[in-house]
Amino acid sequence: MRERELLHALLDNVPDRIYFKDRESRFVRVNSAMLKLFKLDAMEQILGKTDFAFFTNEHAQPAFDDEKRVMLTGHPIIAKIEKETLPDGGVGWASTTKMPLRDRQGVIIGTFGISRDITEQKLAEEGLLKANAALAKKQEELLTVLEDLKKAHEELRSVQLQLIEAEKMKSIGQLAAGVAHEVKNPLAIIAMGVDYLSHEKFSSDSCVPRVLQDICDAVKRADAVIRGLLDFSLPGKLEVEDVNLNEIVEQALLLARVEIKGTGFQVVKELQPNLPPLKLDVTKMGQAFINILTNAIHAMGEGGTLTVRTFAKQLTGVGPNVGDSRWESFRVGRTIVVAEIDDSGTGIPEDKLTKVFDPFFTTKPTGSGTGLGLTVTKSIIDLHGGTVGIRNRPEGGVRVTIMFGV
């Protein structure tokens, strides 16, 4: 076959659109694929016309401008992605290459181009992009849900632990009441026996009175523990009334002062006047504050500064016992009344801080305390819906912080 026939065979069978244009961008030759695009039957229907006859301006004008630039510069445009818009509303995408058409002398006499229909590919790409975006959004939603689930799980765990703790405490309470009764009766016998023997001259041994006194002291210690256990275990019936917390604090300070031995102590009061009233059981809350103040005084040994501070504030930020969860003690935005008791003692070892509210935990020497004071204190404050926290102060000593919701 001759070269011309081969070229015709190529032009008429290749699926890509091939065209040749003159200097005015008029079609001078196209292939069958191009005719098919415009739904034409014969070459004569396209020759001498421009893109403006077959495309909307949206495509025709940029294409015309590209051809002008190719003819002016002599530089081809390779694989440009073009959006082809037809008058009937049809839209397609093509990858187009435009080259300068030169005569035998190398003079540019027009352009020729080849356009590959990439509409399907483009639509697939767009579909993929949309799917990716939807997937990303879904992933974000899932991550949010995951976070919420984690949070809910933590909250549930916290509630579970609280419930377990409550059950334990209830069992301990029941046990304590039983133990108290069974232990106090033998203690009563021992105490009576010691009393009787103290008044009897049955031995000339000079150590006997001391021994009897030791037995008596031991009975008193055991009795103190049992009574503290009962305080801890008896049902918490509150007899509440509207009260200014400062009244309770002042009364507790008065009673706790008897624990102050020596002249090296200073008591500083920073009590905000006109605190919002709280619903408190005056007797029980007084007991709680006496426990805390007594501990603070004992922690300072021969001397130090005891500072008692009260104030009201509105919660503006998340912190210990403060958050947005309904399981937190207080929600951000709520007004609370705070009492802080600072001592200037030696502080509590960090590894022991989490245990201070445990029953029978004490940092005092054996025999100097039952280890139930803070346990009972926490129990009383919990019954009132408040919170109590204890931490070491950077400057030394301990701060006890009590919060009540108004």
Partner 1 sequence: MAKKRILIVDDESGFTRLLKLTLEQTGKYIVCEENDGTQARETACEFKPDLILLDIVMPKIDGGDVASQIRADPFLQDVRIVFLTAIVSKKEAGGGGLIGGFPFLAKPVTLEGLMQRIDENLAA
Interface residues with partner 1 (CB under 8 A)?
177, 180-181, 184-185, 187-193, 195-196, 199-200, 219, 223-224, 227-228, 230-231, 234, 283, 287
**How far apart are CB 220 and partner 1 at their closest, in Å?**
8
Nearest to 180 by CA among 219, 226, 223: 226
**How far apart are CB 142 and partner 1 at their closest, in Å?**
55
**How far apart are CB 278 and partner 1 at their closest, in Å?**
21
By beta-carbon proximity to partner 1, the closer residue of 200 and 242 is 200
**How far apart are CB 403 and partner 1 at their closest, in Å?**
24
By beta-carbon proximity to partner 1, the closer residue of 104 and 199 is 199
By beta-carbon proximity to partner 1, the closer residue of 171 and 266 is 171
By beta-carbon proximity to partner 1, the closer residue of 96 and 295 is 295
CA 268/CA 133 separation, integer angstroms: 63
By beta-carbon proximity to partner 1, the closer residue of 91 and 187 is 187
**How far apart are CB 316 and partner 1 at their closest, in Å?**
38
By beta-carbon proximity to partner 1, the closer residue of 40 and 169 is 169
**How far apart are CB 241 and partner 1 at their closest, in Å?**
17
**How far apart are CB 211 and partner 1 at their closest, in Å?**
18
By beta-carbon proximity to partner 1, the closer residue of 29 and 184 is 184
